[in-house]
Amino acid sequence: DSLSMCGIAGRVGASDTSRTTLEAMVATLHHRGPDDRGYYRAPGIELGMARLAIVDVAHGQQPTHDNSGEITAIFNGEIYNFAELREDLMKKGYRFDSNGDCEVIANLFHRYGKDFVSHLRGMFAIAIWDARERNLYLIRDRVGKKPLLYSVTNNGIIFASEARALIEAGVSKGVDFAALNEVLVFGYVNSPRTIYSKISALPPATILTFNGDRISTEKYWSLDLNQKNNWTHERSLHEIEVALRGSVKARTHYERTSGIFLSGGVDSSLVAKYLTEESSQKLNSYSVRFDEAAFDGGDECASGACPVK
């Protein structure tokens, strides 16, 4: 997982567990978010999260609410364009108590409904409770950088960032042998399957809606593999540079010190170049090498030119 690693958990439905179950679930996610914990409870709904404070360290606690108080949001990840979205919402009359991205999510959903996700640029696993219609929405980013797992129970639905939190709440650890076969054939499990028969993974670019009676899912984005560009070689290089520089710049608004892991390849070197040019902060860089030269995987390492351990 990446730098913006928090943990979220929750449930919808009549509770047959103790009040401390949600706290126990969030406690299993402490390694994802050691800085803070937050909870929201109302009849039939519980939301909790463990926070790693990166954006608006002082005031970015979760859960957050929209201005009406009817939309409640928690999320794991980072919205890179939240500042622009926040400014646009303020022009439309929305008020904000923080400078963080989660409060933007709540108000953005109030404004646009499920289409709010088309406005987001970032990596995210989001849970939204809409008290107006008593609907729970689970949303995962376009390529599935952030994990989001769920299980259907006799009383409703339960979800979390990791399987250990669901198991802590009593979900069965029974193995899905079809998923085990996928591991042996492909080396991984295809969502919505997980290795557990009672736990499903929300696929990337998917919105799950639970209205108390049933679950529905819908894809909100897909990659168009048929699109062709007749660019020249020079134009292609330019577009790649613009995209890379823009991606790095979008990630440089942290209140924490930035760092980069240097693998010795072209990719990390380019990121380091753009990061030093786009950020005024001191850049901390790190490299790793193995005692076994073959594990380093490069001619430089084979010749003994790898960075020092």
Supply the mean pLDDT for the chain.
88
Count of CB atoms situated within 10 Å of the CB of 108: 26
Q: How confident is the model at residue 288 (pLDDT cuts 50, 70, 90)?
A: confident
Chain center to CA of 242: 25
Average pLDDT over residues 81-107: 94
| Cα–Cα dist 282/15, whole Å | 49
Q: Is the pLDDT of residue 254 over 70?
A: no
Active site annotation includes 6: yes
Whole-model pTM?
0.87
Q: Percent of the chain scored above 90 by pLDDT? A: 64
| Alpha-carbon dihedral angle through residues 185, 186, 187, 191, given to the nearest 10 degrees | -120
Q: Please state which of the ranges 60-69, 131-140, 186-195, 260-269 shows the lowest mean pLDDT.
A: 260-269
**Whose CA is closest to 148, among 137, 132, 133, 156?**
137
pLDDT at 16: 53
Whether residue 44 contacts residue 90, with contact meaning beta carbons closer than 8 Å, is answered with no
Q: In the predicted model, is pLDDT for residue 4 greater than 90?
A: no
Residue with the larger pLDDT of the pair 170 and 3: 170
**Nearest to residue 127, comparing CAs of 62, 174, 180?**
62
Please list, in sequence order, all residues whose beta carbon lies within 8 angstroms of the beta carbon of residue 241, skipping any fewer than 6 positions away.
Answer: none
Q: How far apart are CA 145 and CA 124, in angstroms?
A: 7
Pairing of β 215-219 and β 206-210: antiparallel
pLDDT in tens, 229-241: 889 999 999 999 9
Residue recorded with tokens 């009549």: 14
pLDDT reported for residue 300: 47
How far apart, in whole angstroms, are the C-alpha atoms of residue 109 and residue 93?
A: 14
Return the bridge partners of 72, or none.
Answer: 65, 129
Mapped onto helix, strand or coil, the DSSP state of residue 22 is helix
Classify residue 292 as exposed, middle or buried by CB count within 10 Å of its CB (0-12, 13-18, 19+).
Answer: exposed
Taking 80 as the threshold, does the pLDDT of residue 272 lie above it? Answer: yes
pLDDT of residue 301: 44
Of the residues 6, 102, 301, 306, only one is catalytic, namely: 6
Confidence category of residue 275, pLDDT binned at 50, 70, 90? confident
pLDDT at 58: 65
